[in-house]
Amino acid sequence: MSEIRFALDEVRRLTGPNLLSDKPGAIADVFIENIDPLWVLKIWKKHIARFQARFGWQQDLYTRFFDGGLSVAIPAQMDLLYSACDLLELSWELCIAELHEGDANDYEDILLLENALANTIKDELNPALINFIEQAHKNDVRCLVDDDEISLGTGHYAQTWPIDAFPNPNEVKWEDFKDIPLALFTGTNGKSTSVRLAAEIAKAANLRAGVTSTDFIKVGDEIIDEGDYSGPGGARILLRDKRTEVAYLEVARGGLLRRGLPVTHANASLVTNVASDHLGQYGINSVEEIAEVKLMVAKAIHQGQGRLVLNADDRLLVEYAKSLDKPIVWFSLDEQNPLIQQSIADRRLCVFVSDANLKQDARENSLVGDSEALTYLCEKTGEKKAIVDIKDIPMTVKGYARHNVQNALGVVGLSKSLGYDDKYIKHGLLNFESSAKDNPGRTNIYDRNGVKIVVDFAHNAHSMQAVIDMVKAMSADQAFKRIYVLFSHAGDRSDQDIKDVADAVRELNPDVYVLSELEEYLRGREKNEISEIVVSHLLASGVDASKLVCTPSPYSGAEFVLNNAAEGDLALLFILSERERVNQLIQHN
C-alpha cells in the first residue's frame, strides 16, 4: 500500500481580489498523496469552521483542487490577515492529526494553540482602521493599506499617514481625494514592453506616467528603484507618489498568486497573451490555469468604469472570455478575425492590422497606398482609422517583429480606452525605440563590425519562438553567413519546458548553439544539469555535437559569440542575467 503523504507548501496573505475570491484573506496550498482529497478537505473544513465560529468570523471558505494538492482560502478583515494565516495553519495541523490518529481532540496542545491564536487576534484587531477603510469605501475613495501606512486617493490627489496616526474619518474631506487614471498590464509575455510603450504615449500627451514592472518602478523619466515591483507593494509606492498623473501597473503571475490584485478597480486592463511558463508553482499546472490567473485582472473592471483589452489571436483568452461579463476591446493581427469583424459590425472599439488601401483625409492620420497599417474602429463614427504604418513603428523592426506588432495593438486598444487622442498615440509609437534605453532586454538590435546582434530577455518557448520568427523573417530578406544563438534556462522550470526552449532554438537551425549556465537561477538543480538536459535533447534530435558550445555564464557566452562572429553573421543572444554587462560588452566590442 502506498504511503499517505501530506505537506503544507505555503500559507500567505491575500491583500486583494484573488484567484479564489474577490475578498482579502489568507490562502494555504497543501500537497496530498494517496488519500481522497475530498476527505481531507472535509476534515480540514470542519476545523476551520470551528475556529471561525469561535472567533465570530465569516463562515466562508473557498477551495481549489489541483493535480497533487489543494488550496483553501478564507476571507478576513484587513487587520486580521496574519491571524487568518495562523488559523489556516493551525486547522491544517489539526486535520493532519485527525487523519493520522483518528481523533484530533486528543491533540495535546490544541487548547494552548487556540488560546495563542485568540491572543494574536486580540492584538491585531483594529476597529478604527476597519472603520476608516469602510468610510473610504462608502465615499468611493481608494484606500490603500499595508503594515506601515494607509493612504487615500492616488497620484497628486494622494495623502498618506502612518498606520497608527490616520485621521478621524468624520474630519476627512472625502471630496478632496480622487483617482488618477490607472491601468493593469499582464500576460505571459509582452507585459514590460507594453507598459513602457503606454508610458511613452502618456509622455507624448504631456502626462507624467508612473510605471511598475518586473525591472523597476519609475515616475516620468526618474527610476525610483530597480528590481521586481510587479506586486502590490510596488503599486502602493507608485500610487502614493504625488508626481504620478497616470498609473500603469505591470502585474505578473507571481504577485497575482501571492497577494492577489494590487487594486480593486482600474480604468483598463490589458492581457497580452497566455503561454506555458512557471508551471508547477502555486498549484498552477497547465496553460489553461495560467489563463485563469492572467484574467484575474478582469476583476478590476466594472461595468461603466473600465474596459478589458484582450488578444483575439490567443485561443485561450478567446475561450475564457466567453464567461466574462465585461466590456472587451479585442485586438488582432488579422482584420478578418471573427471577433474583430463582430466588433466592427457592432461598432465597438477594436484594434487590428489592415492591409487595405487606406486613404484618410485627417492631417494627423494620413496613410495612402497599400500599407500595413495599425488601425482601430472609431465607436462614434463607425469609421476605420489608421494611425500609422506598421513598418514605421521602430519596435516592430520594419514589421518583422510580429510579437511587437501585437504589443503595439494591445497598447493602442488600452490607450483608446483611456481616451488618448490619435496624435499622441502616433507620437508614442514612432518615438519608442527597440533599444536598450527605451526597452532594455527586449528585441534590442545592434550592428557591430558587420555582425547583426539581437539581444532579448525571452526566457520561455513562447517568447523565444516570437523572437526566432522575427529573425527568420529578417533572414528571408537578408541572408546571414552564420547564425549563433546563445541561450539558457532557469532551474525552476520543468524538463519539458527546458526541452521546448531547445526546440524553439533548433527551429532556426543555427550554425552554433551556445549554452550558458545561470548559477544564480539554479533553483534546486545541480550546476550544469540544465545544460546536460539541453545537450542530450539536441543530440537526440539530430543536432551535430560540433555545433554545441557550453559556457559558464551568459557573459562568457556572449564573449564567445562576439569573438567568433564575423562580418555577415547573426548573433542572437537570449540574456536572462548579466544583461548590463553584456550590453557594455556589445557597446565596446
User: Where residue 194 sits, what CATH number does that domain have?
Assistant: 3.40.1190.10
338 and 309 in one domain? Answer: yes
CB 376 within 8 A of CB 354: no
Domain boundary pick from 392, 408, 431? 431
Q: Based on the fold, state whether residues 377 and 484 are members of the same structural domain.
A: no
Tell me the one-letter amino acid at 67: D
When divided into structural domains, the chain yields a total of 4
For residues 475 and 425, membership in a common domain is answered with: no
First and final C-alpha spacing in the chain: 63
- On whether both 391 and 298 belong to a single domain, the answer is yes
> Is 437 inside any structural domain?
no
Tell me the mean pLDDT per 10 residues along the chain, length 589.
85 97 97 94 96 91 96 97 97 91 60 87 96 98 97 98 97 97 96 96 98 94 94 96 98 94 98 85 90 97 93 97 96 98 98 71 40 94 96 96 98 98 98 90 92 91 92 90 92 83 92 90 79 94 95 94 96 88 84
Question: Is 485 a domain residue?
Answer: yes
Q: Are 142 and 119 in a shared domain?
A: no
Provide the pLDDT for residue 365.
Answer: 41
Given a contact cutoff of 8 angstroms between Cβ atoms, the answer to whether 307 and 182 are in contact is: no
Q: Is 336 found in the same domain as 198?
A: yes
Asked if residue 459 and residue 407 are part of one domain, the reply reads no
Is 529 a domain residue? Answer: yes
Q: Does residue 439 sit within a domain?
A: no
CATH number at residue 461: 3.90.190.20
The domain in which residue 135 lies consists of 127-176
The pTM of the full predicted model, rounded to 2 decimals, is: 0.92
Q: Is residue 438 part of a domain?
A: no
Structure-block grid coordinates of residue 238: 507608485
Are 377 and 403 within one domain? yes
Among residues 431, 452, 486, the one where a domain terminates is: 431
Q: Does residue 293 lie within any of the structural domains? A: yes
C-alpha torsion sign, points 257, 259, 261, 264:
positive
Residue 260 has phi, psi (to 5 degrees) of 90, -170
Last residue of a domain, one of 368, 403, 431: 431
Same domain, 131 and 120: no
Eight-class DSSP state of 91: H
> Are 152 and 120 contained in the same domain?
no
Predicted local distance difference test score (pLDDT) of residue 525: 82
Asked if 273 and 388 sit in the same domain, the reply is yes
Is 493 contained in some domain?
Answer: yes
User: Is there a contact between 441 and 579 (Cβ–Cβ < 8 Å)?
Assistant: yes
For residue 360, what pLDDT is reported? 44
Give me the DSSP letters along 218-248. EETTEEEEES---SHHHHHHHHH-TT-SEEE
Within this chain, do residues 532 and 569 fall inside the same structural domain, yes or no? Answer: yes
Rounded CA-CA distance 214/252 in Å is 8
Q: Give the angle subtended at the CA of 350 by the CAs of 182 and 385, to the nearest 5°.
A: 105
Give the per-residue SS3 of 411-476. Answer: HHHHHHHCCCCHHHHHHHHHHCCCCCCCCCCCCEEEEECCEEEEEECCCCHHHHHHHHHHHHHHHH
Q: Is residue 579 part of a domain?
A: yes
d(C-alpha 497, C-alpha 25), whole Å? 33
pLDDT of res. 357: 52
Cα torsion angle, 530, 533, 536, 537, sign: negative
